Chain A
Amino acid sequence: MIPLLLILIPLLSGLAVFLLKDSPSTKAFALVSSLATLVLSLMAVFTKGALTYDAAWLPGLGSRFSLLQDGMSKMLCLLTAISFPVVFAATYKNVYQRSAAFYGLMLLTQAGLLGVFLASDALLFYFFWELALIPVYFLCSIWGGEKRIAVTFKFFVYTFIGSLLMLVGLLYVYAQTPDHSFAMQSFFHANLDAHQQNAVFALFFIAFAIKMPIFPFHTWQPDAYEQSPTATTMILSGVMVKMGIFAVIRWLVPMVPLGVHAHTNFVVTLSVIGMIYASLIAIRQDDIKRLIAYSSIAHIGLMCAAIFVQNQIGLEGVMIQMFNHGINVIGLWIVADVIEQQLGTRKFSELGGLAQKAPVLAILFVVMALANVALPLTNAFVGEFLMFNGLFQYNVWIAAIAGISIILAAVYTLNMIQKIFYGNTVEKTVQAVEVSANVQWVLSILVIIVLVMGVYPQPMLDLTKDTVTAIFANR
């Protein structure tokens, strides 16, 4: 029952918000709804074993409304459920025109995301995959920046092409399933020879690679992150990119193991190129949002590579890093949003000396930023350590090249801290004041998560252990 409620609460409250009048109470309503989802997902985390829900949906097509919440799902649902109240609370002071529609669409996005992480029926998965995309399209196009329409459209068409190719792949596998069903287990046991697996791999992987995004498919991402309203950007980069990674682990690896195996070198190479490439570009950025966007591409590249090297330690690293990256990047976005709201600029060249004016913000931000560099004692260290360990077992040279991105990450992150917070105050930052209490609270919570997970990651590893073992048990 919990999995169903996890989808229903944001879905129904999202639809309900649309009917409310535009008033401050919509914010409160959205916040309460997202807190309810958080409580539920915590309940799921503390329930032992996988949770399931199953109901008839499309009997003619062999598709059922079936949900499965195993360790990985629990972890990602928790991430989603934490993100939304955090985002709502951190942007509580922001004023949106037509706020009812804004919060309604945000909650619908949450429903779509949770659905993606829970679906154990391929067609249902595809439904939620798209459901998560449509509200984001409207969020970015209505409340985004100056170039929002063109940029969001590029993002939409890009991901839509991926989705459609995935649909073809789904139908192809469906035609080969023994019992003509979309159920996950039937998909995993479809009769596909090596040649067919390669074709299916290509169809699915393009969709997931666009969503993550992996190197040659990433061009939509920096623009979309920059132009979206920051609340949406947080969700996009904190949670939505995990859809691609999740889908590879949940669907692609068990479904077409031969296809995955055949493409290991190819994908790992692409990911590593993407890591270095994105890190180098990040160094040259003058805009906080774009820097975080490129840094995010680099981190996602590492996760993708660690999946495809296919060893247990790497996959464990991916699991924990999915959660941690979400927390860290949302923290960074919150600071970016605060600076933009307060000072009206995101350019490093127009910032400086903010630490004198807002010391609390500076401390909290530095912790988040160091977590972004994966310093020991922060959460990201655990994940990156495990993932590099996995890469190392696969190929020493690949691991060494990928390791360069850590150094590059330190370069651009420290550079960012320095340019925003230290040095002398400049024209725009003279008038700066300390951030409001709600942002301080939210950032403090995130910092606590960062430190706790950095020191004691074992519960999170235990939580996702069942998924990892299941994947490696099947070979």
Chain B
Amino acid sequence: MNAIIVSTLLGVVMMFSGILLKNKSLLKYIAIGGLLLLLVANFCQTYGCYTIVVNSHDLLRFQKFGLFFNSIAIAATLIYVILSGKDIETAGNYPAEYFALLFFVLCGVSILCGFNSLLMLFLGIEILSIPLYILTGSDKRNLKSNEASLKYFLMGAFTAGIMLMGIALIYGATGTFGIVSPSIITAPNGAVSAPKASFLEIAGLLLLFVSMCFKVSAAPFHFWTPDVYDGAPSVFTSFMATIVKAAGFFAFIRLLEGQSAILGPTWKILLSFVIIATLLVGNITAVFQQSVKRMLAYSSIAQAGFMLFALYAANDVAKEGILLYATAYSLATIGIFAVLIKMKDYTLDGFNGLAKTEPVLALTTTICLLSLSGIPLTAGFFAKYYMLASVIKTGSGLWLVIIAVLFAAVSVYYYFRVIQSMYFKEGVAETSEITGGFKAGLIFVAALIVLIGVLPSVLLNYFYF
């Protein structure tokens, strides 16, 4: 509850500071301060210190898992603002509003971390999405940005309709908006018999599934992703592809972990299809991209395929894994995007020779890319490790895991092409001005990736406290 209220208030504060402040460069620092405050507020609640108590009538239920995830999202946003704050200010004409919208998105994330009712899920998703439509179109003079915004909005509205339809059907079948409806509870002897579910309920669940697949850009509902990610100003693509996407996954898992039993064995077949399609589309298409930004858009689809394993396995390992995966993926992607924004040319050739001109940028980008490819000693390895381990622990789906690792090998191809450009090819990569603080931030991100890669317990131990 703390985070929801504080982030809303901070959004309003940011808007007003845009009017009241003459010096726009202060906005970034206010946002950083606000995010720190938000982080503290969320931590307070995690450790049982409620500053604000609101009776939500069980529409919201905050558990450690969700609150911890929220902390990760806020911390990732903090890193993002520290690294790319300057670029947010220059993305368009209204910097204060952009920061405000970021806080509103975080409000949506906080709701998604604690929703206990389908209504709240819908509210969370919408609060999360609407600011993003605006942010996507914030580069007003750019046609591509406008196109992306419109496309995102139309597709988003369309999916919101599907989601509402699903919620309505479930409500019709069960008479409640609660996400754990009575018919789903397994038999008292522990036997997982397929619970009786009406046709309406199954149809509703499938519609919800489709709409969530859209939100996390899982194939075959991914078509908006490359265009939107490519068209949006890079600095906001970074935010969309990481924190927002991770939050979507969290909601997805929270929504379906209990309900999947309704669908019985069909559920795993359906999910396997989505996973393989997502891995296939993301990885294979990314191979052919010349623009690094577009490659990252497809890579985000490919990574979503891996994150879907958490849904497939739905056990304790998967829960830890999704936390780790979201962290590892967000850190690495934020790092790469922060560098990408500074580049004059977004194509692979634009990175040629970056190791000579900006060795620190090249090294940190390399660590981020290694993490995304899942090489040991980086956070990405343990992220993939947990995902694979969670599926193997279920005792079935070994074939799915083998397919996934083969696609992981494909992913090495396109991630390493950037490394090849930076280190092995001749050229003069042009960048805008790089400050010492920016480099320090990048080194911090890279160090964090390596730290989690060597000792994932530094992150996961909090989960158990």
**Residues of A at under 8 Å CB distance from B?**
57-60, 126-127, 130-131, 134, 138, 141-142, 148-149, 153, 156-157, 160-161, 164-165, 167-168, 171-172, 174-175, 199, 203
Contacts and interface: CB of A to CB of B under 8 A. Distances in A.
A70 B377 CA distance: 26
B375 A168 contact: no
Given A134-B375, A168-B401, A153 B457 contact: no
A59 B457 contact: yes
Give 3 closest A-B pairs by Cβ, nearest first.
A164-B405, A130-B376, A161-B409
Nearest to A130: B376
18 contacts: A58-B457, A60-B456, A60-B457, A130-B375, A130-B377, A156-B412, A156-B416, A157-B409, A157-B413, A164-B405, A164-B406, A164-B408, A164-B409, A171-B385, A171-B392, A171-B401, A174-B392, A199-B398
A148 B425 CA distance: 11
A76 B17 CA distance: 66
A18 B424 CA distance: 18
A58 B456 contact: yes
B424 A149 contact: yes
A171 B416 contact: no
Contacts of B412: 156-157, 160
A134 B416 contact: no
Contact of A165 (B377, B392, B402, B457): B402
B376 A172 contact: no
A168 B402 contact: yes
A151 to B, nearest CB: 12
Contacts of A164: 405-406, 408-409
Contacts, number: 71
A141 B424 contact: yes
Contacts of B460: 60
Contacts of B285: none
A379 B161 CA distance: 77
A142 B375 contact: no
B460 to A, nearest CB: 6
Given A168-B398, A171-B388, 13 more contacts: A58-B457, A59-B457, A126-B376, A130-B376, A141-B420, A149-B420, A149-B425, A153-B416, A161-B406, A164-B409, A165-B402, A165-B405, A172-B392
A153 B420 contact: yes
A60 B152 CA distance: 41
B393 interface: yes
Contact of B385 (A57, A131, A141, A167): A167
B405 A175 contact: no
A171 B408 CA distance: 16
B418 to A, nearest CB: 13
Contacts of A157: 409, 412-413
Interface string B390-403: 00110100100110
Given A142-B423, A156-B416, A168 B377 contact: no
Nearest to B453: A127
A106 to B, nearest CB: 16
Interface in B314-356: none
Nearest to B390: A171
Contacts of A174: 389, 392
Nearest to B389: A171
Contacts of A161: 405-406, 409
B370 interface: yes
Contact of B393 (A141, A168, A175): A175
A134 B370 contact: yes
A127 B374 CA distance: 12
A172 B399 CA distance: 12
Interface string B411-429: 0110010001001110000
Contacts of A58: 455-457
A229 to B, nearest CB: 13
Contacts of B420: 141, 149, 153
Contact of B423 (A60, A138, A165): A138
A298 to B, nearest CB: 28
Contacts of B409: 157, 160-161, 164
Contacts of A199: 398
A139 to B, nearest CB: 11
A158 to B, nearest CB: 9
B77 to A, nearest CB: 27
Nearest to A58: B457
Contacts of B388: 167-168, 171
A160 B406 CA distance: 10
B217 to A, nearest CB: 24
Nearest to A153: B416
A164 B403 CA distance: 11
Contacts of A57: 455
A175 B455 contact: no
Nearest to B394: A175
A141 B405 contact: no
Contacts of B402: 165, 168, 203
Contacts of A175: 389, 392-393, 395
Contacts of A167: 385, 388, 405
Contacts of B405: 161, 164-165, 167-168
Contacts of A126: 376
Interface in B27-78: none
Nearest to B392: A171
A175 B389 CA distance: 8
Contacts of A142: 423-424
Most A Cβ at <10 Å: residue of B370, B377, B393, B424:
B424
Nearest to A150: B420
B376 A127 contact: yes
Contacts of A134: 370, 375
Most B Cβ at <10 Å: residue of A57, A131, A156, A167:
A167
